[in-house]
Structures are given as C-alpha cells and as structure tokens.
Structure 1
Amino acid sequence: MMVNLNIYLLGACAWGQVTYAFVDYGNVYPRKYSLSADVQVADQSYDNTTTITLSPAHPVLTLDYGTEIAGFPFFVVAEGASPAQIEAAYSEAFAYLDDENADGPWTFSNGLANSWRVETFNITSGGHTESFFVQGGQRWQSIRLLTNHSLTLESIGFRATSEHKDVDQQPGHLRTSHDVYNKIFDLGGQVVQAACVDAGNAPSTWELTDEGAYIRGQTSAQSSIGRVMGAANYTLEFDTKIVRGGTGWRVASAIQPLGPYFVLTSNYPEQNTFVNTNRTLLPPNTLIVNGGWSLLNQSTLETPANQYYPLNISVEENKWYHIVTAIKEDGYTISLNGENIAFVPLPPPISPPVFFSTASRYEGTWGFGGFQDQIAVVANVSVVASNKTIIYTNDMKSPGVLAEYAVAPLDHSICLDGAKRDRLVWIGDFYHTVRVLAQSSARWDYIIGSIDYAFGYQAKSGPFAGFVPISARLGTRPEYSDADPAGPGLVDYQDLFLASIGQYYRYTGDAKGLEPYWENIKALLKARLTYIDPTSGLAAGSPAAPNPGSFLGPANGTAVTGLMSFALQQIVPLALAFQDTATASLCNTTALSLNDALNTKLWNPELGTYSLDLTSPGNFSLTGIAWSILSGAANTSQITSSLEKLEALRFGAGYKTISSEEETPEYQLAPNPSGFLLEALFQAQTAHGVDTAKTAITHLLDGLWGSMVNDEQYASGASWEYVKPDGRPGITAFTSLAHPWGAAPTYVLPEYLLGVTPVTAGYARVVVQPAVGYLGLDKVQGRVPTPFGSLEVGWTVEGGKAKVEIEVPEGIKGEVRVPKGWKVDGKQEEGGMMELGSGTTEIVLCTV
C-alpha cells in the first residue's frame, strides 16, 4: 500500500551520488490550431498526424495546447523543404501571444530555461528541429513564416519535461455540481505538473566545448566566486567569438542579473543573420550598455534607457576578440583587441534600491549572457584587482564552470514558484505547493527533493545561522551557498517553510524521510525563536535583524505572529515522532504564548478585529484575519466580528490585503494570502459555526479564482500569481499564470467539502466530516491520496435527504462526524460520531 511513497523516497536518498537521466514524459501536441495572416484563436482540431503548410498568404500558425505545458519545442519539416526562417512565440495567455516579445522576456533569473518567449529558427533542410532551451510554461504558441518560401510542418509539439496527465487521472481529484468550482479545483493539479521538475529534466543552458563556454542568448549568469570574494574596482578580461549576432557580459553585478550589462553586436553578415533581427534595439557594430536588468523593460523590473556606442570597425563573426572592461572611479572603460571602444559614465545608484542589489556601482561579480538569438563563445576569463593582482582565472572549459555560474543541470526533483518564471525554489510559496501536491498528484518526491534542496544551502554560521535561502536558484551547488546567502529578507518565509515540512508529515507520516533533516529543522526553529520581541511577545526582529522584512505583514503584527504560532504547532507532531519531547514542548508553549500576545496586544474591540501591528492600531489586514483564525488564537466571537470587518477589504474580484491600501485599477489582488484566508473561512464555518463565512468564500471562488478560468483570453489551465480587480492578470504579461501559490482551492475544497482530516500523521486515523449541501452544492465526489491508497468520499443531496458514501482503504480507521444541519436516520444528532473502518460505508442523512 505504500509502494509509491517508498519508491520516491528511495530516489531521494541517492542525491549527490547519482547523475540523473532525463525523465521521459513523451511528447505533447496541440489540441487546436489556426492558419491565417496573423495570430488568431485556434479553432481547428489538431493531432500528431496533422500536416500544415505555411505560405506567404498564410504565414502565421496559432497553436492551443489546451492547458499549461512545459518542455522543449520541436517541429518536423517535410523533406525537400526550401530554406526558410520561422519565428516561434510562446505565451501562457492568448492575449499576449502577438506582443513583440510575447509574454517575456525573463530578466530576474536564468532558471535553466529560455529567458526569451520568442525565438527564431533557420531551416535548411527537412527533418526534426528542436529548441536548445526548455520553455517552462505555456498554453499558446505561434509560428510565423519570415521568408518567402512555403514550409510544410508534419508535426509540432513539445518534448515534455514534466508530467502532463489529465487532472482527473491524478490520485487526488474532486468533482462537484458546480462547473466553475470544478475548473478551479483542476488549476492546482495542472500547475504542480508544470511547476515541479524532475532531477535531470532541466539541463544546463550553457555548453562547454574545447574552445570555451558556448553561450546562447539568455539572461546572464554570474560568477558565484566573484560574489563570495566581494570583488570590487577590478578589470575583467576575456576572449570571445561571436557565432551569431553578438556577445554579452556584466561587471559590478549582483548574483542576480542586476548591474552594468554590455552587449557587443556583430556586423550581421547576411548569410548568418535572422531577417527579424531588431536593428533599432541592436544596431550592428555597436556596444550597447544598460545599468539595470536588461536592455528591455519587463513590468516590475524597470530598466533605464540604453546607451549606444557605435564602433568604427566591423565586428566579424567567428573571429576571436579580447575584451577588457575596467571599473574606474568615474565609469567603465571597454577595449577591444587593445583598442579603447567606449567609456561608459558611472550609472546612478539603483533606485529604489532592492535588497539583493550591490552596495555601489564599483562592486559586484561578473557574468556572461548575450541577447535574444545571439550565440557566442567565452573563454580565458581573468579578473585583475586595482593593485594589479590577478584574483581570478578560468578557461571556461571545465565542468565546474557550470555550478560556479549557476547553470549546472538540475540534480534534485523540486517545485518552483512558477513554471515560466521566476523558476526559483521560493520556500514561502512551497507551503501551498505541498498541500496542492498532497491533494492532486501525490508526487512526494518533489516535496522531499525541495526540502533537501533548501537545506543544502542552510546558513551554518553568522547572524542568520539556521535560515535557508528564501529563493534558492537552480543550477548552483551547496559549495556556493555564500554567493546567495540566507538573510533578513521575508523572514516569515522561514515559518512557511517550517509549516510546509509539518504539512508533509501530516499527510504522509513519513518521519523516516524527514529524519535526516531533523537537526536542520531544529536549527531553523532556534533561529526563528530569536525573532520574538521580548517586550511585546510578538513576532518581530532579532539582534541580528532588528528590522526584518516580511511578506505577509509588518513586525509586531498579527499576520506574522499568527503564522509563527501556526508553524510551531505544525512541528509538534514531528518532534514527538522523533521522541524529542523538549522540542515539542518548546514549540507548543511558544505557540500558546504567541497566541496570548496576539489577543493581549493586538485584539482591538473598537476596530472589531486584530490590528495590523502595534504601530497601526486602526489598520487591519486580510492576512491578519486569516492567521488569527488558523493559529487558533481567535475565539468564535472574535472570528464573527473579524469576518464582518473583512467586508471592508472587498475590492473587485477579491479582497485587498491591507485596509489602508489605495484602491486602483492596477492593484494586485493576491491569491497567495487569499488562499490562507480561504482555509480560515472554511475553518470558521466548520469549527466555529460562523455562517457568515460563506459570503466571503463564494466571493473568493466566484471572483478571484473564477477570473482564472472564465476568460479564454487569459486562462492557462493553471493558477495565477496576481489578479487585477477587474479579473485580468495582475502584472499583465509578466504575471506567472502557472503559480502554485495561487492554487489553494485544490487543497481547501477537498479537505472541507469531502471533510477528510488526518487525526494521526499519514491518515492512519481520520475524521470524515463532509460539508453536505454547503455552498448550495447538491453533489460532491472525490478521492484523497493517502499512503494506504485513495480514500473516497461522495455525497448527494435531494430534497431534505442526503446520501453519503465513503470508501476507506485497508489500514485506515476513524470516525464519521455528522455534519451541521443533518442527522442520521432521524436519530443521531448533528455533530455525533460513528466509527469508520475499511471498506464501503453508506449513510443516509436527514435535515435537522
């Protein structure tokens, strides 16, 4: 009964000793297509035998894959084809597919994937052509013929890098009498397929050759060694050979691609240059410089104007050049083969500053990565300090280069924050991901893999000892932990990570799988307990970080304190499993103290809810209401009052986060904290009998999550990162439309509508309390994955009667609790308990 779980955990134990092969999930093909003069909604059926001819009269093929998928794009060209160039574009939403850059590019991280959402192919013969890069997530694709010869495509699709099952075939599933709620539930099963990646399925985005690093155009990758050594005021030298279009590099950069970026373009020889090359943005024989993220803006990652330095020489392709970039007091000097080609004045400081930017324009590491569709070889890199000492050399040929520049192949099975971006292991987002996986795919290997990955970079010493990075990068290795260390940013993410671990144990009972990390967990607990204010008793700062940043709310506030209490409570059962009663007692008593401080210091009877924080007694938040309930701090009367106050936060399709925030058309409604609220609302109803919770639940489901499934212009089949008040994606094309943090209904709906709750970790004992008739539903059917097999619950309502059927696998025992408003056969009153054993149990309910 526990075969799958054990197989996944066996694989986890081997990490660090095994090179993982590619996990073959087959090919994914479009479901529909259209052929026209421009991008059109796909309306014709497609299968892998469909042949399509692009022509000057009908040059644009639009492809709809039906839902979010991930993989290597490929197409098969008919034999005998004339030479042609085609441009492929990818987008999660149809609305952005025809934009110049589709819904990209991604300038925040490399992510072991294509940074661009538009790429060009030069077709010279028939046969199979596949992109070098993974495209992390899309529903839509277009292929545009750029040249005048017709081109016949015999097959088009993606070589899948992740599972792509129909969600109703997953171990966990739910169906109700409400079609929109069914689509909302399905968002989670789809998103974790796209956003979770197997070890071996994200190869390096660089190639190492006997000449050097062969680097295709992508978000630049920075040297971890340069970051660790704290390099400043240096001169970077390297050799480069432009294979196509240009070459790119950085100096004085953060470990993220943020800092002076230089792109040198070639003379664009006709026989090797794409016809769609943007010669306005990228003129030939020119050095182009930007002091920010890229040469292009991307929504929230704003970039200053580019600076252009035309050269009086012809920069040839397939010829070696020696480039020197020196950081000077007033700027940067750049030379090519010993000749000065430009002096770039020192850019102004990054404004507003971000916590991962460098302290000045003189310091930071170096990196390499050309612009869109460019290819270059980089070799013989050296860095010379201001005192003329050589502090770094690298011929860029050895395998260690990939890990140093964080482009090494993925060696863990992990879950990302988003399929297309940011493609980082954000430990706060992971809380939702764990619970979505537990109610859909049950791919426990992704959970253990992500836990192992995060703890591999845990700080061992210093002011943040015990913390793990909030967003571990792909492609790096633990020996470079100090290049992107854990710090004071978003410290509440540490609590969400702890809660994630507790939830994994709750669902699986897998103490053995977590045992290797128990000391890591305790180190993180120890670190977090220093963040309790000794005066207020609330979650706040520490001696190491007196003013830390948090995602869910301010220090000495309701949200962060309630969350910390909740996280500590989640660790108690795991500590007891390890017979560590001291840790269990510490977590329990500390959680109780935090709850007491919440009620003593932050409950505001005049306001009718908990204050945002000590400094804002008249302000309150969605997250404060949610975590006061989930932590167990709020009693029934406080919950009732808080939910009345919640209506003041209602805005557009959802609820704004903080009461003082301005309501604008561009406001970003947040499915992540709204997911915490959704569960708190269900708890208010089931545990406290607060009937007004239904109003907010239906608003969230019909509005916020309904927005993700009701408009085919934007629907990806997966859950979103942010939502505007009018229901469109919250940060336009940049929005991740495959973000697990937005999929809370996938775990909330089955846990409360089916009512299956593990009383002991791993479902050895359960309580089943189905929410019969709730939300106006007259039918619900679903299955919950457990280590013993699927536990199935179904109920139907007709008139004043209801039928409940429960199928329990061997090995599980528990009770059925009669739901509110119902009684059994006119005898057992609501709230009563009945024993539940393995096999099928049928119960007939009557209204009270």
Structure 2
Amino acid sequence: MCSGLAEAQQLPPIFDKNTQAQKDSRVRQYLTPKRIVWTSDKSGKSIVNAQSLLLPGSGQADLVHKNFCTMISKDGNTPGILLDFGVEIQGGIQLVTDQPANQKPIRIRIRFGESVSEAMSDIDTIQGATNDHAMRDFTTEVPWLGTMQVGNSGFRFARVDLVDTDRELQLKEVRAIFEYRDIPYLGSFKSNDERLNKIWNTGAYTVHLNMQEFLWDGIKRDRLVWVGDMHPEVMTINSVFGKNEVVAKSLDQARDITPLPGWMNGISAYSMWWILIHRDLYKNQGNLEYLRKQQKYLVGLLDFLMQKTKDNKENLDGTRFLDWPSSENPKGIHAGLHALMVMTLEAGAELCTILDEPAQAAKCKATATQLKLYVPDANGSKQAAALLALSGLVPAEKANAEVISQGECERFSTFYGYYMLQAKARAKDYDGALNCIRNYWGAMLDMGATTFWEDFDLAWTKNAAPIDELVPEGKDDIHGDFGAYCYKNLRHSLCHGWASGPTAWLTEHVLGVSVMEPGCKTIQVKPNLADLKWVEGTYPTPMGIVKIRHEKQADGSIKSTIDAPKGIKVLR
C-alpha cells in the first residue's frame, strides 16, 4: 500500500515519497464556439469551410481528413478568424489540426478578448490593450496532426491568425478550455421580473469565475487578492455557494504577506475590510476554530487602527482609497474612511467579545464612541454617504435623499454600488434600489455583458455598440473608448467580482434573509417585494438549504412559505 505524500495527493506509485505535488481544486470543460463573428476573407479562397469549427469536437486528431477549416496564406495575405464562445470564461484554448502537405509546425497569433473590439485589437498605447496579469495576445506554434492547448486569461472571444505567408493550416477544432470550481449553486433567486433574475445570476457567475485557486478581483486583469474588493464577493459567496475554501485561503494569504504594521495591498481601508469580512464570514458560517486562528493578528491590527485616530477623527495613512470613481474627492474619502473606521471598530468589538478578549472589545467600543462625536461631510460622494449611513453617523434617510438618490443611478460605481444599495435598504427605499439595479446593472446586460464590469457609467451607453459586435462607424466602442484611472479603454476588466453586489442584496432584502445568530442558527426572513408580485429562492447555511417563497396578495400583504432545516430558528 502506498504511503506518504504520494497517497495523499493520489499520485501514481512511480513517484517517490519526496515528490512535491499540489492538487488543483478546479475542473475543466471544453466549449465549442457559438458563432463566427468575423473572417478576414469574404471570397472563400483563404478561409475555407469555417463553419466546421462550430461542430462539436472530441479534442482528438484523426486520419479521416474531413470536416476541417482551411486557412491559407499566400501573396502576403495572412487570414484570420474571430470566434464567439457565447459567454465569458476563465481559461485558454485548444486547437486540433489536420494534415496539410507541409509537416512543419505552423505559427499562429491568438488574441483573447472580453469584447469583440478587444479581440480585434493590437497591444499599443492607444486603446490600452495589454498583456498585464495574463497573456491575451501572443504568437505560438501548432503541430501537424496534433493538439495544442494554450492560454490562461478571461475571455469570451478568440481570434486566430496565420503569421507566416505560404502556409496552410487545417483546423479541425478550436475549443475554449473553461477552468472553474465545480461547485453547486446552492442559493437561488427567482421573481416575476426576469431582468432581476438575470442580474442575480450574472452576479453569481461573475464571482464564480473569480473563485480560481484564490479569490481574484478579475479574470483578465487584476488576477490578484484585493482584500477590500473581496467583501462584496464574500457576501455573494455566502448567498450562493455557502462555505468555500477559496475565501479562507485568500484571507489568510493577505494576512500572511502583510505583517504588522502594514496595510493590506498598501491600502488602509483594505485592512479594515479584512476585519469586516471576518465578522460577516463568522456570522454566516459560525466557524469559531477558524476565527481563533485570526486572533493574534486581529487584536494587533485593531491596536494599529486605534493608533490612527486624532481628535476623534480618522487619521489613516497608507493609500487613502475607497474606490476609483471617488478617488479625486479627498473630503469624501475622509468621510468614508471615518465611517469605515467606526464600522470596523464595532465589528472588532464583536469579534473580540467572541474571542474572549474583553479588554480589547472595550477599547474598540470606546474608540468608536469617540469617533461618533464627529460627523464629516460626504462632500457629494455617494460612496461616503453610503458608509456614513451604514455606520449610523448620518440617518440613512438623510444620506439617501440628499446624496445617494440624487440623479438616481448617476455617479454609482460597480464596487460601492453595493453599499449604496445597502444604504437605500436602511432608508427603506426598496423601490429606488430595485430601479437602480434594473437600470445600472441591467444596462451592462443590454450592452452584451455576461459578467459585471470593473466600472460602468450609464452615459457610456448613449451612442455605443454592444461588446459582442464589431463597432460600426459613427458608434462608440463601449469597451475601447471609455474607462479611467488604471482601467482605461481595453485594459478595463469586464469581469470583476466586486461588481456582484445586487446578488447578495436581492437575497438579503427582497428574498429577505438576514443571519441573526452565528452559523445561521437563527435567521430572519423579512421580504421587501416593492413592485414585485412574487419571489422565491434558496439560501445555503451550514445546516442545509432554506427554501423560501413570498407571494403578494390582493390586499398587499405577503404570504410566505419557508422550509428550513432542523436546527435553524426562523424569525419573521
């Protein structure tokens, strides 16, 4: 019988006990293209039988010499073809070749794109297309009568071009390699509004794609653990997938590479979000053993934070940041950081009480109380106003009426939009929140999105072509013509986990699920249907799945049916 690492990793017995191996937690599937968006040849002379690439394949080369696309380069003409796989994925591409007369390897250029325009672009300083974080534009070789698998990026579209002249490429298959965690969608949301249903599902899928070996921010660009950005992602994971190893793995990585005194990702707010994530994760999962592993770092971080106050105000150093759209409003940033400090110290007090650290809990409470004596001005920042409302520094009704609701969804952001929605819920403005979800996140769907974006402005859509089309003359390129800061033009990520807020929000406030006791031992189910007629869904807990359905009656009352696993107390 095998023993040691070989047994633990299920390696073949040929490996010795000193072999180091790490098992990948992901699976892969192969996707056939849905359509051909573009070819360089309309005559049928340099690209022959392109439609064969839309046939299901096996990934295996053969000697039958049938059903393949031929790409022929001659007279200086190097043909190309653009394929659409129908939905954004994380992974690469598989090419299966046939047997032309020349048996030498053939050079091809591959370009991945989250949009048609990105897949059709060159890496330059004009439109911002890059190979940052992941190679999405590169040249490689494919074999004669064989299979090549290459690529590791986020994309929906792939363009393949011949590089050299006087060559013939016989392509039997071009399939996308979809790498993902094979995990069930335990949570669900469905209502009489299909637009909201699609938004919920799109947010869930956006986060799912970013649940790779670590919890990333984006699958094309920002394939990194950005701790603050994780908070909306973790709230979505709690609502859709329940407990998943990627959360703890990413939180622990951020802790381990950021010794104190130091800010996670160099950003003071992100260390505060680390504490808030742990509070919300413990609330949902009730895993005291895991929380205790954070105790030493948590207590030290709270001490460090409390040193960063002066005259009852936050006095944080490091990069002072909420999100990019608010980054040119220093007064708004100060207000947001002050509110976030209050929220963090109150969460820290909760966690320290649980961890039998009464002295530290008392210090956190006292400091938070002192900070509440000062109420900064949001300075028109919807981000800051949301945090001021959620911290209790400003009445939510006031923050919503005077700042957040002004211009409806104008000046929303995909990251802090979640907290704007949370503030609206606290102000009981459920109609306004649902309208912003439909109009703001829904507009990305109207532009062809299958995942939610790093940033978005409704003004971009006025004269824009959707991302799944070649941009006609006279139209704006919604991917290539917009963006700002670190995400200008085609560098802009169109799959960013921080944009998934509506998924968690709809589950919490429309389906109505709030966790009242750690580990979901007690939950409250209090729906807010606003203009909806009915809603149903599920919520994952450590003890099983809660099933819920709400129906609005003729008199406006709500009839609710709730089926909870044994051990869960349900408050209404």
- Could you say which TM-score interval applies, normalised by the shorter chain? 0.7 to 0.9
RMSD: 3.0
Structure in which a larger fraction of residues adopt helix: 2
Aligned to 1:496: 273
**1:75 paired to 2:89:** no
Residue 701 in structure 1 maps to residue 437 in structure 2 = yes
1:680 is matched with 423
Q: TM-score, normalised by structure 2?
A: 0.80
In structure 2, list runs of 5 or more residues that go unmatched. Answer: 1-18, 43-49, 60-66, 324-328, 462-477
Find out whether 1:48 has 2:63 as its counterpart.
no
User: Please, which of 803, 813, 835 is the counterpart of residue 569 of structure 2?
Assistant: 813
Q: Is the 8 A contact 2:122 2:129 kept in 1?
A: no
Match for residue 524 of structure 1?
301
Aligned partner of residue 122 in structure 2, secondary structure? coil
Structure 1's consecutive aligned runs of 4 or more residues displaced over 6 angstroms after TM superposition are 39-44
Equivalent residue for 1:631, pick from 372, 378, 391 = 391
Return the offset for 1:468: 4.0
Q: Which has the higher strand share?
A: 1
Distance in 2 (alpha carbons) for counterparts of 1:752 and 1:42: 47
Tell me how far 1:62 sits from its aligned partner: 2.8
Partner of 2:407: 650
**CA gap 1:45/1:174 in 2 versus in 1, 3 angstroms:** farther
2:489 to 729, 732, 735: 732
Single out whichever of 40-49 and 701-710 deviates more from structure 2. Answer: 40-49
> What's 1:122 paired with?
141
Q: What does residue 469 of structure 1 align with?
A: 264
Contact 2:452 2:496 in 1 (8 A): yes
Q: What's the CA shift string for 1:799-821, capped at 9, x where partnerless? A: 335432111012211311xxxxx
The CA deviation string for residues 255-274 of structure 1, in whole angstroms up to 9 with x for no partner, is: xxxxxxxxxxxxxxxxxxxx
SS in 2 for 1:783: strand
8 Å contact kept, 1:759–1:767: yes
Q: Are the equivalent residues in 2 in contact too, given 1:35–1:60 (CA < 8 A)?
A: no
Question: How far apart, in 2, do the equivalents of 1:42 and 1:443 lie?
Answer: 43
Other-structure match for 1:97? 119
Residues 789 and 81 of structure 1: CA distance in aligned 2, closer, same or farther (over 3 Å) = farther
In 2, the alpha carbon distance for the partners of 1:682 and 1:790 equals 25
**Hey, what does 2:156 align to over in structure 1?**
139
8 Å contact kept, 2:108–2:160 = yes
Residue pair 2:53, 2:174 contacting (<8 A) in 1 also: no
1:88-132 superposed Cα distances (whole Å, 9 cap, x missing partner): 211112232211249875466xx4x42xx222232341111122x
Equivalent in the alignment of 2:320: 549
Give the conservation status (yes or no) of the 8 Å contact 1:36–1:59. Answer: no
Contact 1:35 1:59 in 2 (8 A): no
**1:228-267 correspondence runs (5 A):** none
Residue of structure 1 in register with 2:15 after alignment: none
Alignment partners' CA distance in 2, 1:700 and 1:670: 11
Letter in 2 for 1:757: S
1:671 aligns with 2:407: no
Counterpart amino acid of 2:146?
A: G
Amino acid at match of 1:679: Q
User: What code does the residue aligned with 2:71 have?
Assistant: S
Matched to 2:24, the amino acid is F
- Following superposition, the deviation at residue 170 of structure 1 comes to 0.8
d(CA) in 2 for partners of 1:184, 1:762? 27
The count of corresponding residues between Structure 1 and Structure 2 is 500
1-side partners of 2:389 and 2:500: how far apart? 20
Helix, strand or coil at the partner of 2:156? strand
Distance across 1 between alignment mates of 2:40 and 2:58:
23
- Kept in 2, the 8 Å contact 1:172–1:783? The answer is yes
Q: Which has the larger radius of gyration?
A: 1
Per the alignment, residue 770 of structure 1 pairs with: 527
Answer yes or no: is 1:540 the counterpart of 2:315. yes
Q: Give, in angstroms, the shift of residue 45 of structure 1.
A: 5.6
Rounded to whole Å, the distance in 2 between the matches of 1:78 and 1:777 is: 55
Q: For residues 208 and 97 of structure 2, what CA distance do their matches in structure 1 show?
A: 29
Counterpart of 1:564?
A: 341
Counterpart of 1:796 (choices 543, 547, 551) is: 551
**Cα distance per residue 1:459-484 (max 9 Å; x no partner):** 24xxxx1x3431xxxxxxxxxxxxxx
Q: 1:223-252: per-residue Cα shift (whole Å, max 9, x none)? A: xxxxxxxxxxxxxxxxxxxxxxxxxxxxxx
Segments of structure 1 that go 5 or more residues without pairing to the other structure are 1-16, 199-413, 471-488, 603-610, 613-618, 657-668, 686-690, 817-848
Identity of aligned residues (%): 21
Seen in structure 2, the aligned counterparts of structure 1 residues 795 and 524 have a Cα distance that, compared at 3 Å, is same
Cα separation, partners in 2 of 1:36 and 1:677, compared to 1, 3 Å: closer
Equivalent in the alignment of 2:467? none
Q: Is the 8 A contact 1:55 1:148 kept in 2?
A: no
CA contact (8 A) 1:532 1:538 kept: yes
Contact 1:788 1:809 survives alignment (8 Å) = yes
Partner of 1:634, secondary structure, is: coil
- Report the alpha carbon displacement of residue 565 of structure 1 after superposing the two structures with TM: 1.3
8 Å contact from structure 1 (residues 454, 469) kept in 2: yes
| Change beyond 3 A, Cα 1:179–1:60 | farther
Give the conservation status (yes or no) of the 8 Å contact 1:87–1:121.
yes
- Within 5 Å, which residues of 2 pair with 1:240-639? 414-460=214-260, 465=261, 467-470=262-265, 489-533=266-310, 535=311, 537-541=312-316, 545=317, 549-551=320-322, 554=330, 557-598=334-375, 602=376, 611-612=377-378, 619-635=379-395, 639=396
- Displacement of 1:786 in angstroms is 0.9
Change (3 A) 1:565 1:19: farther
Name the SS for the 2:415 alignment partner. Answer: helix
Amino acid across the alignment from 1:735: H
Give, in angstroms, the shift of residue 705 of structure 1.
0.8
The alignment partner of 1:597 has SS state of coil
Q: Would the alpha carbon gap of residues 458 and 59 (structure 1) be closer, same or farther in structure 2, given more than 3 Å must change?
A: same
Say if 2:82 and 2:159, in contact at 8 Å, map to a contact too: yes
Match of 1:782 among 537, 551, 559: 537
Which amino acid in the other structure matches residue 784 of structure 1?
Answer: Y
Corresponding position of 1:155: 173
- Distance in 1 (alpha carbons) for counterparts of 2:158 and 2:389: 44
Distance of 1:434 and 1:81 partners within structure 2: 54
- The answer to whether the 8 Å contact 1:29/1:48 transfers is no
8 Å contact kept, 1:60–1:144: yes
Mapped contact 1:417–1:429 kept (Cα < 8 A)? yes
State how far apart, in whole Å, the 1-side matches of 2:416 and 2:509 are.
18
Alpha-carbon distance in 2 for matches of 1:490, 1:26: 35
What CA distance in whole angstroms lies between the structure 2 residues aligned with 1:524 and 1:620?
31
Structure 1 CA distance, aligned partners of 2:51 and 2:203? 25
Residues 104 and 733 of structure 1 are in contact (CA less than 8 Å); yes or no, is this contact kept in structure 2? yes
State how far apart, in whole Å, the 1-side matches of 2:245 and 2:519 are.
16
Distance of aligned partners of 1:768 and 1:648 in 2 relative to their CA distance in 1, 3 Å threshold: closer
Q: Aligned in 2, Cα 1:120/1:769: closer, same or farther, shift over 3 Å? A: same
- Per-residue CA deviations over 1:776-830 (Å, capped at 9, x if unaligned) read 11121111111111112112235335432111012211311xxxxxxxxxxxxxx
The Cα of 1:439 is off from its aligned counterpart by 1.4
8 Å contact 1:74–1:129 — kept in the other structure? yes
For residues 35 and 93 of structure 1, the distance between their equivalents in structure 2, rounded to whole angstroms, comes to 11
- 440, 453, 462: which is aligned to 1:720? 453
Question: 1:41-91 deviations in whole A, cap 9, x for unaligned?
Answer: 999965335954033499443322222211232211124564533222111
Q: Secondary structure at the residue paired with 1:492?
A: helix
- Tell me which of 195, 199, 203 is aligned to 1:188: 203
Q: Distance in 2 between matches of 1:740 and 1:674?
A: 13
